[in-house]
Every structure is written in structure tokens, then in C-alpha cells.
């Protein structure tokens, strides 16, 4: 056999060997890249409502990793069980995938702190497993100054423990303008003062020969002044009786 034919045959053999090896390598790569992951796909079991430790054991037994998220409050499932999971039950994912679970905490109920002083309300929140959030001051005619008007979240709502609760606190009665009652008789002046949300304070009678008797000749606070609702307005009323 000629030498060039032997050389050609050897090259063909090596080409065939290399081609076969390359083909096998490509097949292996494709298998591990596409086929093997599919074969290792597993269905995520439903662990909601199960005790957290049991849920973890079940998921890890299926080849999943487990990450426990911060507890949430869910009244539909028992305390200490899984309230939520991700991926959702029935999902097909690769083994080794991390499944997140949210334990359920019974949480805490926002206590009714209506009219309680702010300092006392803060203590009540702490005793309930909650903490004070923002304090928002606003005028109130029905709640004394520094007393709690309402809260956010509202009284009675169940929330997660350590949640912040904002309190709306009374800044006292709103301010009103003092009406002008000078020149009016006593009865009408008292009526006008009460209609403005104020109270009649002291009444003094003053001899004034230039004024008709029984009329208001002076008032304090002065007309137009801004005062807290419920404040007193003092009156001086003219009389024709000379002092002795």
C-alpha cells in the first residue's frame, strides 16, 4: 500500500475519533444544561397551615432550601404555622431552589386608648406588644388636651407584634373669636357669648351717667380676640345707681 494512502487512513481515523469525542462532549453539555435540570424539577408541596418545623422538614426532604421570612399576622391560620409560601404550592422548580415561608404570629390588638393621656397610652401600647409611632396633634372639643382622640391602625384592629401605632392627640379646644357685646343688654350679651362657644365670666355693675342702665360698656377679652373655646368673657354693665 502506498505511503500516502496509509497517512490518509490514519488522518481519517483521528478525525472520526475527534468527531465522536466532540459529539459526545456536546451531548453531555446539552444533557446537563437542558435535560438534567428538567429531570431534577420537583413540585413544591403545600406547607401552608403546617407547623414551621414540619414545613421545613418536608421541603428539605424534597431537595429544597428553606428561608424563613419575618412573621406576619393572619387570623385565618393557627399561630406558629406557615401563613404564606413562595413559590406557591404546585409550582415546578429545580431541586435546590429556595422556598420562602412566612410564619404566622397571633399578632396584637390595638387597644382602645380613647381619652387616655398620651403618657399612659404609650405604656398601654408597650404592654400590648406594640410601639408608639407618630403623634399628631389636632384641636378637639370633646377630648381634653393631651388625650388620645384616635389611632392608626384603628382601635381593635389586629396587627403584627412590634408594629408602630400612630396616635391622634388633642391639642385642646379650638380657638374662637370673642364677639362684640358692648352696647347690648345683659341677656342678649350672655346669649351671644354662649353661641360663640364661650362662657360668661364675672359681671360687674358700673355707674355711668352717660349710658343707659343695663348695657354692656366693657368686656374682657376684647372683641375679635382669639381664645380657646370655653374661655370666660368678663362683662361690665352700666347702672344708674350711684355708689355710696
178-226 confidence digits (pLDDT tens): 999 999 999 999 999 999 999 999 999 999 888 899 999 999 999 999 8
Q: Could you count the other beta carbons within 10 Å of the beta carbon of residue 46?
A: 14
Return the CATH architecture of domain 175-239. Answer: 2-Layer Sandwich (3.30)
State the pLDDT at residue 211.
87
The dotted CATH code for 42-103 is: 3.30.10.20
Low-confidence ranges of the chain (pLDDT < 70): 1-40, 244
The x, y and z cell numbers of residue 50, run together, are 403546617
3-state DSSP percent of the chain in helix, strand and coil, to 5: 25, 35, 40
Distance CA 150, CA 142 (A): 12
State the pLDDT at residue 14.
61
Domain spanning 108-170: which CATH class is it, in words? alpha beta
Q: What is the pTM of this model?
A: 0.46
Amino acid at each position: 500500500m502506498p505511503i500516502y494512502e496509509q497517512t490518509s487512513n490514519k488522518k481519517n481515523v483521528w478525525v472520526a475519533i475527534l468527531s465522536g469525542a466532540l459529539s459526545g462532549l456536546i451531548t453531555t453539555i446539552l444533557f446537563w444544561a437542558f435535560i438534567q435540570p428538567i429531570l431534577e424539577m420537583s413540585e413544591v408541596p403545600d406547607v401552608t397551615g403546617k407547623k414551621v418545623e414540619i414545613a421545613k422538614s418536608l421541603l428539605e426532604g424534597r431537595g429544597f432550601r428553606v428561608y424563613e421570612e419575618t412573621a406576619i399576622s393572619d387570623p385565618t391560620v393557627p399561630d406558629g404555622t406557615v401563613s404564606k409560601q413562595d413559590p406557591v404550592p404546585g409550582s415546578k422548580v429545580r431541586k435546590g431552589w429556595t422556598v420562602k415561608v412566612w410564619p404566622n404570629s397571633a399578632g396584637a390588638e390595638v387597644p382602645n386608648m380613647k381619652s387616655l393621656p398620651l403618657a399612659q397610652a404609650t405604656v398601654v401600647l408597650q404592654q400590648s406588644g406594640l410601639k408608639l409611632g407618630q403623634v399628631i396633634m389636632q384641636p378637639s372639643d370633646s377630648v381634653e388636651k393631651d388625650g388620645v382622640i384616635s389611632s392608626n391602625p384603628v382601635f381593635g384592629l389586629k396587627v403584627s407584634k412590634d408594629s408602630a401605632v400612630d396616635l391622634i392627640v388633642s391639642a385642646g379646644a379650638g380657638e374662637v373669636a370673642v364677639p362684640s357685646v358692648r352696647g347690648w343688654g345683659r341677656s342678649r350679651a350672655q346669649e351671644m357669648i354662649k353661641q360663640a362657644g364661650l362662657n360668661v365670666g364675672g359681671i360687674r355693675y358700673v355707674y355711668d351717667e352717660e349710658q343707659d342702665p343695663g348695657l354692656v360698656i366693657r368686656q374682657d377679652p376684647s372683641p375679635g380676640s382669639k381664645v380657646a373655646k370655653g374661655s370666660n368673657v368678663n362683662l361690665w354693665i352700666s347702672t344708674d345707681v350711684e355708689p355710696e
